[in-house]
Amino acid sequence: MTTRAGLVFAAAAAAAVLAGCTGTPAPPASTPPASTTVPAPATQAPTARPGQSATDAATEPRLVRQLELELDTPWATVFLPDGTAVISERDSALLKSVKDGRASTIGEVPGVVPGGEGGLLGLAVSPGFATDRYLYAYFTAATDNRIARIPLTAAPDGRLTAGTPEVIFSGISKASTHNGGRIRFGPDGMLYVGTGDSQRRDQPQDPEALGGKILRLTPDGSPAPGNPFGNNPVYSLGHRNVQGLAWDREGRLWASEFGPTVDDELNLITPGGNYGWPDVTGAPGRSPFIDAKVVWPDTAESSPSGLEIVGTTAYLGALRGQRLWTVKLDGESAGQPVSYFTREHGRLRDVALAPTGELWVLSNGQNPDFALIVDPAG
């Protein structure tokens, strides 16, 4: 498989442990060519920056408002067809609905065993929600990470209640860190699942193991037809800890991923692709591994979590970096990342596009947490 040089930026990596994502660093990867290094990203400014047109400045993301939702470590936001937001809380195992700026508890997911980075994690809304009323949830249980679908019922006044979960997929290895957790239905109607290596470095390169992968499932939890390894849920391998999944307007899948103490990544995902962990990180140009399209050598600047794509721009929430990153996409290439709201709102966990066209960005660790409502076009 042909590798593609990723876009690398910023200075040399800081030798700091990645907060919220620990683990043993990979063996040193070869140094990328100097031609792939670009200057450190600029930060938000109210007017056009040097070399930036007024048009570009006018399309910067703009904070519209902050919703004080009194959340406890929220992990994911999804939207129902009527525009209601549903948010998962990692440690409490609660599902919260948000309508008209107010949060209400709709249920606690049974069987969730929080700890470290584990707990109630990613959410996805069934493509057939209008008829099946299913909300999908990825969560850490006593022995593994698993996926359940949960029926939501609505009272006459619109209040939601979560029903009894049905586990449709299990056996994803768990640990105190590197549990993955992002799930999302793709344009093909299949459920894509980002997993972590759960501190088991032998798993990512093993196509028979579930850790360190992106999985592709049918809505009932079976391996999706057409997967690259036959009757196997694995879609791509060689991942450390996948945190975000999103498709561009041409239907290409992109994923954000935590590095160890170096090399956070934004990857363009191909079926059967091997992204190198734990043998390489970033974009060393080493066959047969696929280079990341964007590499943050200093994980203090990023720890990219939730990912959303609007038009030709990717938006990534940064945990340790405490900012919102934007990356312009051009086909299979990615431009230089630019940061916004740097250290203004704390750790940013998820980024989700609402039916209104606004982005919801979840804070983490602010005690209590909130949602930032952002106009992506400024």
- Structure tokens that stand for 190 in this block: 């299949």
The radius of gyration of the chain's CA atoms, rounded to the nearest angstrom, is 19
As to burial, measured by CB atoms within 10 angstroms (0-12 exposed, 13-18 middle, 19+ buried), residue 24 is exposed
pLDDT at 378: 60
d(CA 113, CA 344): 32
pLDDT 10s per residue in the chain (378 long)?
333 334 444 333 333 333 344 333 333 333 333 222 233 333 333 333 444 444 455 569 999 999 999 999 999 999 999 999 999 999 999 999 999 999 999 999 999 999 999 999 999 999 999 999 999 999 999 999 999 999 999 999 889 999 999 999 999 999 999 999 999 999 999 999 999 999 999 999 999 999 999 999 999 999 999 999 999 999 999 999 999 999 999 999 999 999 999 999 999 999 999 999 999 999 999 999 999 999 999 999 999 999 999 999 999 999 999 999 999 999 999 999 999 999 999 999 999 999 999 999 999 999 999 999 999 986
Cα of 58 vs its chain's centroid, Å: 27
Angle at 178 between CA 249 and CA 213, to 5 degrees: 50
d(CA 180, CA 146): 11
* Entry pTM: 0.88
DSSP label at 289? S
Pairing of strands 120-125, 102-108: unpaired
d(CA 107, CA 113): 16
Q: Are 64 and 74 in contact (CB under 8 A)?
A: no
Strand order in the sheet with 94-99: 74-79, 85-89, 94-99, 102-108
Q: Are 85 and 125 in contact (CB under 8 A)?
A: no
DSSP, collapsed to helix, strand or coil, labels residue 208 as: coil
pLDDT at 116: 97
- Structure tokens that stand for 250 in this block: 């041409």
pLDDT at 197: 98
SS3 content of the chain, % helix, strand, coil (to 5): 5, 45, 55
d(CA 147, CA 121): 10
Residues near 57 by beta carbon (within 8 Å), at least 6 away in sequence: 45, 47, 48, 49
Q: Are 162 and 95 in contact (CB under 8 A)?
A: yes
* CB burial string 209-241: b at 16+ within 10 A, e below: bbbbbbbbbebebebbeebeeeebbbbbbbbbb
Q: Which residues are catalytic?
A: 178
pLDDT at 377: 81
d(CA 371, CA 140): 24
d(CA 40, CA 171): 41
Among 305, 319, 365, which residue's Cα sits nearest to residue 122?
305
